[in-house]
Amino acid sequence: MLSYRTEMRRGWNASRDPQFLSVREHLFPTAPKRLGVAFDALVSEPMSNEFPLEDIAVPTLFVHAADDRLAPYQYVPPASARIPGSHLVTVAAGGHLFLENQDQVREAVGPFVDAVAAKV
């Protein structure tokens, strides 16, 4: 498994990154969210394995970081392959929040949205 520490730019300090600070502020403390966290881990996440992805008939784009520890990348290519015509863009690093790699996400999402909009 890739490590955030080895994939993030040398010298990056999360305590100074405004995006990280904002997310941290909304995530913690976790105690008031314990029932939701338990539901996600024990009910909604396992149920998602049963979704009929093959039936999705809309343009679908997956953008996922290879070093995401919250939603492991190993599950993404098989899920993408189950959706007819889906596209998968892999961002090498940045974890679940794509920290310091948001430009790669924009470069993937913008053209995809433009292409879909052009067909409507």
Quick: pLDDT tens for 22-45. Answer: 777 777 777 888 888 788 778 777
Q: How buried is residue 58: exposed, middle or buried, by Cβ count under 10 Å (0-12/13-18/19+)?
A: exposed
Q: How many CA atoms lie within 13 A of 28 on its CB side?
A: 6
Rounded distance between C-alpha atoms, residue 57 and residue 50, angstroms: 17
Domains of the chain: 4-119 (3.40.50.1820)
The rounded percent of the chain whose pLDDT value lies above 90 is: 43
Residue 54, C-beta contacts closer than 8 angstroms, at least 6 positions apart: 82, 83, 84
Q: How far is CA 96 from CA 20, 71, 82, 114, in A?
A: 11, 7, 22, 25
Quick: pLDDT tens for 67-91. Answer: 988 888 999 999 999 999 999 999 9
Quick: pLDDT tens for 42-73. Answer: 877 777 778 999 999 999 999 999 998 888 89
What's the pTM value of the predicted model, to 2 decimals? Answer: 0.70
Rounded distance between C-alpha atoms, residue 120 and residue 117, angstroms: 5
